[in-house]
Structure 1
Amino acid sequence: MTDRPRIAFQGELGAYSHQACHDARPDYDPLPCRSFEDAIEAVQTRKAELAMLPVENTTYGRVADIHRLLPESGLHIVDEAFVRVHISLMALPGVHLDEIRTVRAHLVLLPQSRGFLDQLGIIGEPAADSAGAAAEIAREGLKTVGALASDLAAEIYGLNILARHIEDQDHNTTRFLIMAREPDLRRRGTDGMMTTFVFRVRNIPAALYKAMGGFATNGVNMTKLESYMVDGSFSATQFYADIEGHPDDSSVRLALEELEYFTDHLELLGVYPADPRRH
């Protein structure tokens, strides 16, 4: 135990969420959690000060359930972090690449390295967690099995990296949100600010079109807009949005005032500096 603050994430030590914590908050101790809900609860119950939650990936899109969990969490977005997903093939010390017959990784990682694996005739086996697969190989001494995971996982579990950055696409990046119990609206980022909110439009014709008009007329860039059902109802739709700017900016303030006129629910989830890698 240390006196350092803790940051919670979903997954095993060495997961890409852990990598995000390591890069964005190196002065925090990581707290691995079984689920996203557990990571959120760790902050709610003060077991951790922050939570690192993935929201979207350039290859696979939105992370399931996160948009539903954020408004219900009572937490606030205080930062974003972009992590380039580099995939490395690792195995026990002393094992050579030509000895590997199968590799284990999370189901979403295997297709991202398909070209490399097919070239070497290596069979991919889905695992619940890529870092967990690395831990299992180290624990059980599996000599013909490798894992696809982060370099951090190899370091933690004492595995050797046989091939680095074997992903087929060179743009695979995951965006994370850093959540805290209290918002912080005072900061101004050197690369701009982001504001995230959810809303439901009033039941009037063309409500969404009219609600979006305020952002266009005030020159506010909306970088993300997604809809999802609320409570399993086809008639209740909630929208999740990211915009560039701070609510204190006159353009953003006017756009949000106009949006509020056409909504019956508007909730601010966070105001935070834009990650430099966003641009």
Structure 2
Amino acid sequence: MSRNKIIIQGFPGAFHEEAAIKYLDGVVPTIIPATTFRELAERLKNSDHDTKAIMAIENSIAGSLLQNYRILREYGFVICGEVYLRIRHNLMALPGQKIEDLTEVRSHPMAINQCLEFFRRYPEISLVETDDTALSAQEISTAHLQGVGGVGSIRAAELYGLEVLAQGIETSPYNYTRFFLIDKGRGHDASLMEGNKASIYLRVKDEPGQLLQAMNFLAEAQMNLSKLQSFPVLGKVGEYYFYLDIEFERMEAFWEVYAKIKAVTLELQILGIYKNAKVYDYQYSK
């Protein structure tokens, strides 16, 4: 990726940007913001070949983002990689203020909900839901809002000249989000992809044992099924797609199992083959 143009849901300083920085080993990319995941998909669909996107797919507290799995399938995007980010929320405000000076705190509703235990100590602070953590920080800085705080990343505080009043205010320390690096589907030949993890969609007959038959092929090959998610087939009651993450050691072994699964499924699609990411603590630093 030349100069690493990355589309994110959110704005510079959002956790999506932190995920992109982590994936790129500390390189800060050119960020193309999108207000929603659907807008992100449209921007990627119409982008040039040097542009990719980072999209959250699951959170250890909130669970899977089902609409994003549907977006991957609808737009035919390819998963090129994954990254896990430890979500650490921080309270920030204009320099020179203390927590006791705040009457209002703004942030994305998910960020607020993940910090409620902290804010119970400050009942005088009103919690206001906004569209984005980083955008809230930007608005506080641009409008020079006294008495108003934000919840977001350390990078957001740095970008917008805010002072961090309290770090790590999230209720649970086990708060990780998994992100996909995605690209347009055209030009990607699955047979040429390399990695040790694959994401696939499949659909089987609605009959006893059909899904189990496909799963048994993985067990026989000693491959790890790290995720299994079901989705209803639109317009067909009682029929489902299944999303699978499969971890393996050799590409040859994966293709052997893939051929066996294909023989017992109605539909089978590879969303991506990539290197699996490790879950570990990370926070942006200069």
Same fold (TM over 0.5): yes
Letter of the structure 1 residue corresponding to residue 82 of structure 2: E
Find the counterpart in structure 2 of residue 37 from structure 1.
Answer: 38
Give the 3 Å change call, closer, same or farther, for CA 186–238 of structure 1 in structure 2: closer
The match for 1:253 among 252, 255, 259 is 255
Post-superposition Cα deviations, 1:148-196, rounded to whole Å, max 9, x if no partner, equal 11111111222111111111111101000001234474544xxxx2100
Letter of the structure 1 residue corresponding to residue 167 of structure 2: R
1:36-185 alignment, distance < 5 Å: 36-47=37-48, 49-121=51-123, 122-181=125-184, 182-183=187-188, 185=192
| 1: CA distance, partners of 2:59 / 2:151 | 18
Post-superposition Cα deviations, 1:44-86, rounded to whole Å, max 9, x if no partner, equal 3234521101000001001140110112222211110111101
Q: Secondary structure at the match of 2:168?
A: coil
Post-superposition Cα deviations, 1:84-110, rounded to whole Å, max 9, x if no partner, equal 101000001221121012211111111
Q: Secondary structure at the match of 1:222?
A: strand
| 2: CA distance, partners of 1:273 / 1:27 | 21
Letter of the structure 1 residue corresponding to residue 33 of structure 2: P
Q: CA deviation at 1:201?
A: 0.6
| 2: CA distance, partners of 1:187 / 1:238 | 25
Letter of the structure 2 residue corresponding to residue 178 of structure 1: L
| 2: CA distance, partners of 1:112 / 1:216 | 37
Give the 3 Å change call, closer, same or farther, for CA 278–241 of structure 1 in structure 2: farther
| 2: CA distance, partners of 1:153 / 1:234 | 45
| 2: CA distance, partners of 1:16 / 1:44 | 22
Post-superposition Cα deviations, 1:189-228, rounded to whole Å, max 9, x if no partner, equal xxxx210010111243321122211111221110000001
* Equivalent residues of 1:6, 1:30 under 8 A apart: yes
Asked whether 1:21 is paired with 2:20, we answer: yes
Letter of the structure 2 residue corresponding to residue 218 of structure 1: A
Aligned structure 1 segments of 4 or more residues deviating by more than 6 angstroms: none
Find the counterpart in structure 2 of residue 9 from structure 1.
Answer: 8
Choose 3-12 or 266-275, whichever is displaced more: 3-12
Q: CA deviation at 1:230?
A: 2.1
Find the counterpart in structure 1 of residue 265 from structure 2.
Answer: 263
Asked whether 1:238 is paired with 2:241, we answer: yes
Letter of the structure 1 residue corresponding to residue 69 of structure 2: H
| 2: CA distance, partners of 1:35 / 1:111 | 19
Choose 84-93 or 258-267, whichever is displaced more: 258-267
Q: Secondary structure at the match of 1:120?
A: coil
Give the 3 Å change call, closer, same or farther, for CA 10–114 of structure 1 in structure 2: same
Letter of the structure 2 residue corresponding to residue 22 of structure 1: I
| Count of residues in Structure 1 that have an aligned counterpart in Structure 2 | 272
Q: Secondary structure at the match of 2:115?
A: helix
Q: Secondary structure at the match of 1:148?
A: strand
Choose 32-41 or 107-116, whichever is displaced more: 32-41
CA RMSD after TM alignment: 2.1
Choose 17-26 or 87-96, whichever is displaced more: 17-26
Give the 3 Å change call, closer, same or farther, for CA 187–262 of structure 1 in structure 2: closer
Give the 3 Å change call, closer, same or farther, for CA 186–234 of structure 1 in structure 2: closer
Percent identical across equivalent pairs? 29
Give the 3 Å change call, closer, same or farther, for CA 64–126 of structure 1 in structure 2: farther
Structure-1-length-normalised TM-score:
0.90
Give the 3 Å change call, closer, same or farther, for CA 232–99 of structure 1 in structure 2: farther
Asked whether 1:226 is paired with 2:229, we answer: yes
